[in-house]
Amino acid sequence: MIDLIELLDGVTNMRLDNELLSKAEGGHVECRIYGWDGVWISVGRFESPERDLVDPSRVRWVRRPTGGKAVLHGHDVTVSYAIPLDGLGISERRSIRTVYRAGVGPLVGALRFCGVDAVLGADSAFGGRGQKSGDCFAFSSPNDILDATTGLKICGCALRMTETAMLLQASIPYGPPLVDPASVIVNAESRTVMMWNASSFETAVRAALGVS
C-alpha cells in the first residue's frame, strides 16, 4: 500500500469526496488518494443495496455520490478528484461521454507512469466483456480502464457531473480481496488482481492534475 495512505471509514470517505465536488464547483481542482479501514462496499448513487448486495445488514456499505455498480473496498487504492468543467479543455461540456474521457485522462496517465499498461476499453480490442451484475468488476465496458494486453479490468471508475464541475471516483485493487466478492455482492465473480507498484501513484496523479 502507498506509504501513509489515509485509512478511513466509508461514511467519512464519501463525505470528504462530496466536499471535493463542492470545492471544484467553486473553481478549484481537488484530489484525495485514500484507503478504507477494512471491508466496505460502496454502491452507486442509483443502485439498490437490497437488490445488489447479498445481505446489506451483514456488511458495511455506503452510497457514493457517483453512479456505477457496487465496489468492494479494503484491498484497493482509491482516488477521487474533482475538476471544474471549464478546466477540462473541452467544448461539449454537457456530454457525459466527452467529460468522462477528458476527466479520466489524468488517471490513465498516472497508471501508465507507474508501469501499468492502462488504456480505455474504447481504445483497445477489449470492452463489453463479462456479465452485467451488481458488481462493478464483473463487467468491462468501453469506458472502463483495462490492461491493454490482457483486457483485465484494472480500475473501477464512476462519474458525477454537475452544472459546473465533475467528480471522478476510482478504485484500483492492490491485492486479493479481504472477503470473497460473491459472498457480499450479487452475481460477483472471482477475479485476477493486478499487482502493481503504487509507490509513485499519488505523485503522478497530482502532477497530472496540476495540484500539490
Residue 1 in this model has a pLDDT that exceeds 60: no
The predicted structure's pLDDT at residue 3 = 62
Residue at 150 is within a domain: yes
Copy the grid coordinates of residue 87: 478546466
The predicted structure's pLDDT at residue 141 = 83
Looking at the structure of the chain, the number of domains it has is 1
Residue at 1 is within a domain: no
Contact 143, 120 (CB under 8 A): yes
The predicted structure's pLDDT at residue 155 = 94
Residue at 191 is within a domain: yes
pLDDT tier at 42 (50, 70, 90 boundaries)?
very high
Cα gap 29→82, rounded to integer Å: 6
Q: Which of 175, 147, 169, 142 is nearest to 156 (CA)?
A: 169
Lowest-pLDDT range, 13-22, 30-39, 62-71, 89-98?
Answer: 89-98
The predicted structure's pLDDT at residue 134 = 87
Residue at 104 is within a domain: yes
Contact 6, 121 (CB under 8 A): no
Over the chain, what is the mean pLDDT?
A: 92
| AA letter at 208 | A
Domain range for 12: 6-209
Percent pLDDT > 90 in the chain is 75
The predicted structure's pLDDT at residue 195 = 87
In three-state secondary structure terms, 79 is strand
Residue at 51 is within a domain: yes
Cα gap 157→129, rounded to integer Å: 16
Copy the grid coordinates of residue 47: 443502485
The DSSP bridge pattern shows strands 118-120 and 145-147 to be antiparallel
Average pLDDT of the segment spanning 84-99: 88
pTM of the model: 0.93
Residue at 169 is within a domain: yes
pLDDT tier at 127 (50, 70, 90 boundaries)?
low
**CA 160, 37, 177: angle at the middle one, nearest 5?**
80
Cα gap 16→143, rounded to integer Å: 25
Element (H, E) at 78: strand 76-84
The DSSP-derived string for 98-127 is: HHHHHHHHHHHHHHHHTT--EEEGGGSS--
Residue 13 belongs to a domain with what CATH number?
A: 3.30.930.10
